[in-house]
Structure 1
Amino acid sequence: MPEAPAPHHTRALRDAAGLAAAGLVPAAAVPGLEAVQARYSIAVTPAMARLIDPTDAADPIAAQYIPRAEELVTAPHELLDPTADEAFTPVPGVVHRYPDRALLKPLLACPVYCRFCFRREVVGPDGGLLTEAELDAALAWFERTPGVREAILTGGDPLMLSPRRLGAILARLAAIPHIEVLRIHTRVPVADPGRVTAALAAAMGTETALYLCLHANHAREFSSAAATALARLTQAGVVLLGQSVLLRGVNDSAHALEDLFRTMLRHRVKPYYLHQLDHAPGTARFEVPPEEGRALLRQLRHRVTGLAWPTYVQERPGGAGKVPLGPVWEVG
């Protein structure tokens, strides 16, 4: 579908009434969605709103960002903290689950709020921004933990930070002798590409190896503006990886996954992870069973180059970390 004309709004839509005014939900749905927004944050950027076809009830972009009343129904297997971040938090803003790497969460704000997010109980527009003292303590933790060789900035979305603040965080991490790799997890280049300014790209310039892991789930998220943002990053020397979540109604077909991975490669994004859905509350409608995911990947094996092949992974409960799900191949 071609990109729709720009909607009348210029700021992110943050409530049910705004979504209705933009024509993205029917007015009759507003009361039910107001109950959702009381519990979970809503944000749809103009860039994403332009990609939504409001006449298509099965639009894969809308499915990711437009709230639905089902979000208030928690299935028995769903967990408030499916990745068990809290149990692995030595200081505020740090998650240390694996021996050689740790997460740094400098803020909990995002440009958009995905309806399947495993941190949806904590992310929101108030930002959850670490104070200067908390950020200093988090960075000091990295400095005194020599077993950690990789620092992963996540959140929230680290590219919501100003170039100055992002650059200062990266510079301090890069100055730690035992930190060999820096990684940033973000949706900004597709969800709010105008944020990827020359200054923001320059802030990621570092002697330490830096990888930016882009979260995108459908080929249509790669708009012309997103292409410009990604080109700016690659021209600045940033290495791009891609991570996606296997989602019912978004990318649960071999055709959709092939389009997604091929589109990533055209934009110099190497598909890295395809995630099995984490069991966050109210997300059951997105569930694709692992056996179906394996079957989809088997269909792709001889249709796409190995460059387009991600590792299909699932987060084990209780914070036990990721494991690859396959598929398993018979040899002989």
Structure 2
Amino acid sequence: MMVNRCPDTSVLTPEEKRRIALERARELKSRIADYLTVRDAIPTGFAWAEKIGYYKARIIELLEASASDWEDWRWQMRNRISDAAFLAKLVDLPETLLEEINEVAKHYRWAISPYYAAVVAAAGPGSPVWRQAVPSLEELQDSGGSLDPMAEELTSPAPGITRRYPDRLIINVTNVCAMYCRHCQRRRNIGEVDRHQPRRVLEAALDYIRSNPEIRDVLVTGGDALLLPDHQLDWLLGELHRIPHVEIKRLGTRTPVTLPQRITEELCAVLTKYPPIYLNTQFNHPLEVTPEAAQACDRLVRAGVVLGNQAVLLRHVNNDPFVMRRLNQELLKIRVRPYYLFQAKEVRGTRHFITAVEEGLEIMEQLRGYTSGLAVPTYIINAPGGLGKTPVTPGYILDRKPGRIVLRTWENRVVAYPAEVAAEETTCPKDAGRAKQARKPPVL
């Protein structure tokens, strides 16, 4: 194994150091030349704002609405599109595709906010945003998978609660979404009727949290957490805020992506009352990063909300290293930190979205070192049966020996690195694990 070693710079002249630095700069520039040649060909919501605006005007006309209606999130919800014939008024659709959409609709609910429908129409049939929003016959052709691959029904110790980790849990507050994504992991909960959790269920969930002081982190999700009315969010977040051992509140929502109109000044006034609040959303393609989405995120940031993105790796949507790189760079521009990249789950009716794990690893290889570390999420596989998130990374440690490890860098260079070996690491792994668990806190 050839191991690279750093040269002794003390013996180099200033001119030699500069020459080496310039050669290195040219080498680094060449490493992203392939991305730079295609970057501008990857569509973004900002680049396509005018085209999306055309379809916005067309939808407003078809729905006999006004510009002020468009900015009203309640109007957007009342006018969600779930009619294939309406889509056909926006884009040319063959009769066979209309029939397929209607056939899938008999089995799986669909709905798209007018806002997101404008993005979908601008991109057209078969595009990455179309595939996320519009039913496909592939949903009926998927023969495998499970309705509940995460075994959420077996990890619910109290009404409305999902608990898979020692110090945190989920409150599921609604089945309502602005758009019913075709890759949804909880499509079993959607049904045909929009329902928020009854107050008695939320109160039972709060009682469970109060009686378990190890819970320091609560995720409010659904459905979409932000589709609760402002007054109900105010009450729920206030109750959580008053529990001494709950240190942070998290919100799971796709509204910045599918319904940015929901991020009103009134909502932000509620959120700013209960810090710290962390909000994780789900941008999956650069086309979704529009000026409207950026404005929504700006309002949230100004309200003191910390924003993260949990993308899902989806076949024919974003399973491309350059698309994912562009997405994460666009997100940082609107102050959304790429947090997780999820391997798609084995949900019945969605398995056509699943990619090979090797594709996810290749994407991670093409992010680390090639762009800012801020733009590199953690690649996650949810262990089946509700056993939790498992990080999956390319292999960067090639060899481990007492006193040193051998690393592979992002450029595939092999380097040795000194590593101190703690005494407990020289014992049997099982014994070391027991010792770690038994370790007592220091006496102050």
Q: Which TM-score tier does this pair reach, normalised by the shorter chain? A: over 0.9
Correspondence for 1:199 among 266, 275, 285: 266
Q: Which digits, 9 at most, give the CA deviation of each residue in 1:286-319, with x for residues without a partner?
A: 1111111101110121221011110000111111
1-structure distance, mates of 2:121, 2:275: 42
What one-letter code is carried by the residue in structure 1 that aligns with 2:107? Answer: R
Q: Which runs of 5+ in 2 are unaligned?
A: 1-42, 66-78, 398-406, 408-414, 416-444
Structure 1 window deviating more from structure 2 (3-12 vs 248-257): it is: 3-12
How far 1:73 sits from its partner (Å)? 2.2
Q: Larger radius of gyration, structure 1 or 2?
A: 2
Structure 1 window deviating more from structure 2 (145-154 vs 46-55): it is: 46-55
Structure 1 window deviating more from structure 2 (183-192 vs 119-128): it is: 119-128
**Aligned match of 1:29:** 97
**Aligned counterparts, 1:71-220, within 5 A:** 71-76=139-144, 78-124=145-191, 126-220=193-287
How far 1:21 sits from its partner (Å)? 3.7
Q: Which digits, 9 at most, give the CA deviation of each residue in 1:8-45, with x for residues without a partner?
A: 34621123333334437434323332231122121111
2-structure distance, mates of 1:232, 1:125: 32
Do the aligned partners of 2:91 and 2:124 also contact (CA within 8 Å) in 1?
Answer: no
Matched, 1:232 2:290: no
SS in 2 for 1:220: helix
Matched, 1:285 2:352: yes
CA gap of 1:154–1:207, structure 2 versus 1, over 3 A, is closer
2-structure distance, mates of 1:111, 1:293: 28
What one-letter code is carried by the residue in structure 1 that aligns with 2:384? Answer: P
2-structure distance, mates of 1:165, 1:296: 40
What one-letter code is carried by the residue in structure 2 that aligns with 1:191? Answer: T
Q: Which digits, 9 at most, give the CA deviation of each residue in 1:31-61, with x for residues without a partner?
A: 3322311221211111111112467444111
CA gap of 1:309–1:158, structure 2 versus 1, over 3 A, is same
Q: Percent identity?
A: 36
Q: Which runs of 5+ in 1 are unaligned?
A: none
Correspondence for 2:313 among 246, 251, 255: 246
SS in 2 for 1:272: strand
Do the aligned partners of 1:213 and 1:243 also contact (CA within 8 Å) in 2?
Answer: yes
SS in 1 for 2:293: helix
2-structure distance, mates of 1:186, 1:228: 16
**Aligned match of 1:307:** 374
Correspondence for 1:261 among 307, 310, 328: 328
2-structure distance, mates of 1:58, 1:14: 17
1-structure distance, mates of 2:315, 2:205: 37
Structure 1 window deviating more from structure 2 (8-17 vs 153-162): it is: 8-17
What one-letter code is carried by the residue in structure 1 that aligns with 2:147? Answer: L
1-structure distance, mates of 2:329, 2:118: 22
How far 1:144 sits from its partner (Å)? 1.3
How far 1:142 sits from its partner (Å)? 1.3
What one-letter code is carried by the residue in structure 2 that aligns with 1:95? Answer: T
Matched, 1:318 2:385: yes
What one-letter code is carried by the residue in structure 2 that aligns with 1:265? Answer: L
How far 1:325 sits from its partner (Å)? 1.1
**Aligned match of 1:327:** 394
Do the aligned partners of 1:242 and 1:272 also contact (CA within 8 Å) in 2?
Answer: yes
**Aligned match of 1:45:** 113
How far 1:80 sits from its partner (Å)? 1.1
SS in 2 for 1:292: helix
TM-score of the superposed pair, with normalisation by structure 2: 0.71
How far 1:260 sits from its partner (Å)? 0.7
**Aligned match of 1:16:** 84
SS in 2 for 1:249: coil
CA gap of 1:317–1:50, structure 2 versus 1, over 3 A, is same
TM-score of the superposed pair, with normalisation by structure 1: 0.95
Structure 1 window deviating more from structure 2 (179-188 vs 87-96): it is: 87-96
2-structure distance, mates of 1:61, 1:222: 11
SS in 1 for 2:337: strand
Q: Which digits, 9 at most, give the CA deviation of each residue in 1:66-90, with x for residues without a partner?
A: 11111012333x1110111100112
1-structure distance, mates of 2:271, 2:92: 35
Aligned-residue RMSD, C-alpha: 1.7
1-structure distance, mates of 2:114, 2:257: 11
Structure showing the higher helix proportion among its residues = 2
2-structure distance, mates of 1:202, 1:217: 28
Structure 1 window deviating more from structure 2 (7-16 vs 247-256): it is: 7-16
1-structure distance, mates of 2:359, 2:196: 39
How far 1:125 sits from its partner (Å)? 5.7
Do the aligned partners of 1:24 and 1:54 also contact (CA within 8 Å) in 2?
Answer: no
2-structure distance, mates of 1:307, 1:174: 29
Structure 1 window deviating more from structure 2 (13-22 vs 63-72): it is: 13-22
How far 1:147 sits from its partner (Å)? 1.6
Do the aligned partners of 1:297 and 1:327 also contact (CA within 8 Å) in 2?
Answer: yes
